[in-house]
Structure 1
């Protein structure tokens, strides 16, 4: 390729590229579950802009192209909710998803002293489950949201949260 991928905070100007990438990336998830009406495929540009404004998002760029992204926010319990970790299909299986996950965790651990991290994925999304487990996430809940989909919630303590509980 000749260029290296850089990770930085997303800006409002990235919203359109993020939405297009999200639409591309969630096609495989929709196929797994036979449901093309999932929220990431129906989200509007305004919805992406609102998420960018309300939380924190990162993008990975290859030159000017956004090739990966992740979003998150801190909820009322002090939990960092991580969502929509996406990597362009041609960039998958090279560690970029793990780099983005680690980067957003580091942001929330430093900036807001999050107590723990939480995310979710579908029960058949083996690649996602494998990635999250390899980064220390453990399943804590399962919720049937339809005849074909069970959402698996996974959590991980922050270094600060681990220290507090072990003290």
Structure 2
């Protein structure tokens, strides 16, 4: 019998597992852009623990193993910034990234402070761009951060943001 993947809030005790998974998952991004100094590969355990404490942060588990994670924060403009959506390479292309994205968005459902969701990825990260577009995100800006990397920022309104806008 196969195990199913469960999604739950990340705990401080998950931090080491998330950091190891993050390091594994961002290797392909670093290779794609020729830059192994990207922040997800240099983030400290202390910084990650602080992010988890600020929350929300989610993990997906297959049994006891953390196989995916995502974090978010909301700023004073009502932008919920979604960051570091990672899925173990052996678990990719099975819908888990989309499930995590839906779950982190659901954390802001009904929160009147949340007006929009925002995330970013590199311009060559086609599978990321495809996932985000399939979930209703649209590109709103591009920023060249180096000779090989342009960050694409994508946004979509929250249900609460759409409701307020139509009132």
TM-score tier, shorter chain, comes to over 0.9
Summarize the alignment of residues 1-167 of structure 1 with structure 2, pairs less than 5 Å apart.
2-111=2-111, 113-167=113-167
Structure 2: runs of 5+ lacking an equivalent: none
The offset of 1:76, in angstroms, is 1.2
- Partners of 1:130 and 1:23 lie apart in 2 by 22
**Deviations 1:59-112, CA, capped at 9 Å, x for gaps:** 000011000000001111111000000000000000000000000001012356
Contact 2:3 2:62 in 1 (8 A): yes
- Count of paired positions: 167
- Output the CA distance in 2 between the equivalents of 1:3 and 1:143: 41
Q: How big is the shift at 1:37?
A: 0.5
| Matched position secondary structure for 2:146 | coil
Deviation at 1:148, TM superposition (A): 0.7
Alpha-carbon distance in structure 2 between the residues aligned to 1:156 and 1:50: 26
Unaligned runs of 5+ in 1: none
Q: Residues 146 and 155 from structure 1, CA distance in 2 versus in 1: closer, same or farther, beyond 3 angstroms?
A: same
Q: Which has the higher helix share?
A: 1
Structure 1 runs, 4 residues or longer, greater than 4 Å off: none
Q: Out of 110-119 and 20-29, give the one that drifted further.
A: 110-119
Per the TM alignment, residue 113 of structure 1 is displaced from its structure 2 partner at its CA by 4.2
Deviations 1:13-60 (A, max 9, x none): 000000000000000000100000000001111111011112210000
TM-score (norm. length: structure 1): 0.97
Distance in 2 of aligned mates of 1:112 and 1:48: 27
